Amino acid sequence: MVRARILLVVAGLIGSLACGSSTTPTGPDGPSSPSTPTSTSPTLTSMAGVWTLITVNGNAVPAVVGQVGSDRVEIVSDALTLTAAGTFTENGQVRLTTGGRTQTDPVTETGTFTIDGTTVNFVGTGGVRRTGTVSGNTMTIPVEGNAWVLRKG
């Protein structure tokens, strides 16, 4: 039961960094959102790169995202690689401790993303959707009730 919840959290985190619009008109930077970007709005090109998870709910990674007694789920690491073509790859690790045993599992997902102003919409290949907000080189994404903060660079 705990493992299933952890996998849901991880799935929500990784492939779930997706939640977006299916409208992808083409602009000077390739697929984009229907809104008109401002000079401070990110573009697909400026978003391209590696975004590394630094905190979950304000706690440095690795971070506990669920615990019952001594059983717990931790996000060990996560990183999103975004491309100027509007695709992403997510790679991370989640650690599950149950009954005194600890197991670390990889988390991977791929998909697409679009931008609407400072909002980034992710859609994983498995259909999971997430929406994040970008400010400079920081992106915040709510994942299964947890605030994930990623930093580019």
Number of domains in the chain: 1
- Quick check: bond before 142 cis, omega within 30? no
Q: For residue 122, is pLDDT > 90?
A: yes
> What's the CATH number where 19 sits?
2.40.128.300
Q: What is the pLDDT of residue 30?
A: 43
pTM equals 0.76
Average pLDDT over all residues of the chain = 82
Helix, strand, coil distribution of the chain in percent, nearest 5: 10, 55, 35
CA angle 113, 118, 120 (to 5 degrees): 20
pLDDT of 12: 41
More confident: 16 or 56: 56
Q: Quick one: pLDDT band at residue 40, thresholds 50, 70, 90? A: confident
Domain containing 42 equals 2-152
Quickly state the pLDDT bin for 39 (edges 50, 70, 90). low
pLDDT digits over 127-146, tens only? 999 999 999 999 999 999 99
Query: How confident is the model over 83-105, as a mean pLDDT?
Result: 97
pLDDT, mean of residues 39-63? 94
